[in-house]
Amino acid sequence: MKKSTAEDSRSHKAQVVVDRLGEKLNRQIVGSLVACVHCGLCTDSCHYVLSNPGDPTYAPAYKADRIRKIFKRHYDWTGRVFPWLVGAETIMTDEELEELKDIAFGKCTNCRRCSLNCPMGVDFATVNRMTRGLLVSVGIMPEGVATVSKDQWEIGNQMGVLKEDYLETLEWMEEELQDELDDPSARIPVDKRDCAVVYSINPREAKYDPRTIGDAAKIFHAAGEDWTMPSDGWDMTNFGLFSGDDELGGAVARHLFDRVQELGGKKLVISECGHGYRSTRCEAPNWAKYDVPFEMESSVETMLRYVKEGRIKLDKTRNSEPVTFHDSCNLARSCGMTEEPRELLNLVCTDFREMYPNREENYCCTGGGGAMSMSEYTPRRLKSGKIKAEQLKATGAKVVVTSCHNCVDGLTDVIRHYELDMKVTQLVNLVAEALVIEKPARAPAVAEELPLAGRRIVVADDEPDQLLYLATVMEDYGATVYQAATGDEALELARKEKPDLVTLDLSMPGRPVTEIFELLRSDSELEGLKICLITGRPEMRELIYQRMEIPPDGYLDKPLSEDDLLRGVRKVLELSHQEG
């Protein structure tokens, strides 16, 4: 084809964008690009427009026209025949691409509210995502999008969380949970094979706010679920959705899908994240060209299922503040998940109030489409939150619940900016709060059965750490412990408390321990007292065993594990002098 002089002077990047646009065209895109009749219905459906009345550049039809004109000029016959009539226009410079970036990333969150309200079926959000993808393919994108995409490509999760840090965080949450429930069987199993549920999360949960991981683990534990978290491929978020880069989208999802397959998981459960759910469940099988052989569900569905199946019990009076629900665009509008969260909310709190409009007609949190990682547009984003703030305020609720991490941050910013008295939380937090965990009835019985229950022991050691360790272990097993830092203190305590046992470190400051030992043995009031030597210098034992008195009832060598200590002490206590 003969090229005009104008095309010769087109910048390289602009040429690539024009060419690649042709490759991106499919029925949905072309339909959306040709069908617009500029009726204006989309205008009133966009939260940017509603919060910025009088600025036509926010209108979805106007924004769409910026890419539509290129399509018409290069790929539609109408634009070739009478370009002036259909507004066909090419793109020549990098500056024009920057302008396109400002619209595609900075003036639309891809929330799809306009798509839903278009009588012609124009899906502007999909066109906008394609535009983003074209720009990203020539390296034009907000810095935040570039950073996050790079981390997802290179490290495998969008916050660059390293494997050991992730695993340590899971361990930590497991310990906290065990403490909270006083139940060592409450676990966060990692890489367990053939589980009913493989649980995937958003990296921000691990990096900054793991409370949701702990809460989810608590719920799985209470439900008696056979579940696991993968040590790798655990990030269910997908910046490919935001950047329009299908290759990234496919690579990220494949990582996750492969891992579930390797582990033989029956079902992939996706924590409360709008874009993560939409990407993983709905879009990624296409991006990755992957035939997913297992089921996938949102943790919202999982939690609701547990209640319905009677696997968990909830006490909703624990969540008594007025609560409203913010539908995430990706969950409600794009995936149709509108009723499950409401059903669960009514089971988990006492005062649930709808926000209007709601469900698939809800307004964007302002943080969609990756907007939270594009600081350059923050003032615009906050200004566009006016409609959201009004909507939130009208509910009179104190708590807004949302099943999306992006929405959590978007709403938090709106609440702060518009000074609303509200806090944001997720369903998993409410469910964990309301969870009724019946304490096993055996708990008090166990206390009585502790191996050292009722035993009174004087522990003497001059090393504070050692003393604390020995005392703590014995106390944990039920003993009453008196601590002494010198031999004289041990003697005094023994005379005063009449214990069952004195443990003596052999090298303590002050009077020699051999002498203390002698005094303990010769005290008529301490007949039957058991004495155990605990020393890190076994050669010193001779000093005592060579003496005339009845030898010690036993000895233990440091360092001592908890088990060895317990076994040793019990042995000493349970043997008589004669046998010793």
Across-strand partners of 184?
none
What is the number of H-type helices and E-type strands within the chain?
Answer: 30, 13
Which CB sits closer to other proteins, 116 or 146? 146
178 binds other proteins (CB under 8 A): no
Least CB distance to other proteins at residue 200 (A): 14
24 binds other proteins (CB under 8 A): no
Least CB distance to other proteins at residue 382 (A): 9
Q: Give residues 386-415 in contact with other proteins (rule: CB under 8 A).
A: 405-406, 409, 412
290: burial class by Cβ within 10 Å (0-12, 13-18, 19+)? middle
If residue 514 lies in a helix (H) or strand (E), which one and from where to where? helix 513-522
Q: Which stretch binds other proteins (CB under 8 A): 143-151, 345-353, 476-484, 520-528?
A: 143-151
User: With contact defined as beta carbons under 8 Å apart, do 453 and 447 qualify?
Assistant: yes
Residues in the chain: 580
417 binds other proteins (CB under 8 A): no
The single residue among 95, 194, 376, 562 that binds other proteins, judged by CB under 8 A, is: 376
DSSP 137-161: HTT-S-HHHHHHHHHHHHTSSTT--
Which CB sits closer to other proteins, 149 or 535? 149
Q: Which stretch binds other proteins (CB under 8 A): 7-15, 46-54, 106-114, 146-154?
A: 146-154
The single residue among 99, 168, 523, 574 that binds other proteins, judged by CB under 8 A, is: 168
CB count in 10 Å sphere of residue 33: 24
SS3 of residue 60 by DSSP: helix
365 binds other proteins (CB under 8 A): no
Asked if the peptide bond before residue 559 counts as cis, ω within 30 degrees of 0, the response is: yes
Which CB sits closer to other proteins, 419 or 542? 419
Tokens (6 digits) for 461: 């050691």
161 binds other proteins (CB under 8 A): yes
Which CB sits closer to other proteins, 162 or 453? 162
CB count in 10 Å sphere of residue 82: 10
User: With contact defined as beta carbons under 8 Å apart, do 568 and 532 qualify?
Assistant: yes
321 binds other proteins (CB under 8 A): no
231 binds other proteins (CB under 8 A): no
Strand ranges across the sheet with 227-228 = 227-228, 197-200, 267-270, 295-298
Q: What mask, x for binding other proteins by CB under 8 A, covers residues 430 to 469?
A: ----------------------------------------
User: With contact defined as beta carbons under 8 Å apart, do 135 and 141 qualify?
Assistant: yes
Least CB distance to other proteins at residue 160 (A): 7
377 binds other proteins (CB under 8 A): yes
208 binds other proteins (CB under 8 A): yes
The single residue among 204, 278, 281, 521 that binds other proteins, judged by CB under 8 A, is: 204
156 binds other proteins (CB under 8 A): no
Which CB sits closer to other proteins, 144 or 233? 144
202 binds other proteins (CB under 8 A): yes
Cα 128 → chain centroid: 29
CA–CA gap between residue 493 and residue 198 (Å, rounded): 56
Least CB distance to other proteins at residue 366 (A): 13
Least CB distance to other proteins at residue 279 (A): 12
DSSP state of 439: P
Q: What mask, x for binding other proteins by CB under 8 A, covers residues 254 to 293?
A: -------------------x--------------------
3-state secondary structure labels for all residues of 198-212: EEEECHHHHHCCCHH
Which CB sits closer to other proteins, 271 or 334? 271
552 binds other proteins (CB under 8 A): no
Which CB sits closer to other proteins, 376 or 449? 376
Torsion of Cα atoms, 134 then 135 then 139 then 143, to 10°: -130
144 binds other proteins (CB under 8 A): yes
Tokens (6 digits) for 556: 């233990």
SS3 of residue 542 by DSSP: helix
Least CB distance to other proteins at residue 416 (A): 8
The single residue among 378, 466, 480, 514 that binds other proteins, judged by CB under 8 A, is: 378
The single residue among 15, 117, 147, 514 that binds other proteins, judged by CB under 8 A, is: 147
Which CB sits closer to other proteins, 214 or 499? 214
3-state secondary structure labels for all residues of 260-316: HHHHCCCEEEECCCHHHHHHHHHHHHHHCCCCCCCEEEEHHHHHHHHHHCCCCCECH
159 binds other proteins (CB under 8 A): yes
Q: Which stretch binds other proteins (CB under 8 A): 23-31, 197-205, 328-336, 478-486?
A: 197-205
Tokens (6 digits) for 423: 């806090």
Q: How many residues sit close enough to other proteins to count as binding (CB under 8 A)?
A: 36
Tokens (6 digits) for 306: 């547990």
DSSP 380-423: HHHHTTHHHHHHHHHHT-SEEEES-HHHHHHHHHHHHHTT-S-E
Least CB distance to other proteins at residue 108 (A): 18
244 binds other proteins (CB under 8 A): no
Tokens (6 digits) for 440: 């096993």
Least CB distance to other proteins at residue 168 (A): 5
165 binds other proteins (CB under 8 A): yes
369 binds other proteins (CB under 8 A): no
The single residue among 160, 189, 322, 451 that binds other proteins, judged by CB under 8 A, is: 160
Q: Which residues contact 279 (CB under 8 A, 6 or more apart)?
A: 236, 237, 238, 240, 241, 249, 252, 253
238 binds other proteins (CB under 8 A): no
If residue 543 lies in a helix (H) or strand (E), which one and from where to where? helix 541-545
Interacting residues with other proteins (CB under 8 A):
144, 147-148, 151, 158-161, 165, 168-169, 172, 176, 202-204, 206-211, 237, 273, 372-373, 375-379, 405-406, 409, 412, 416
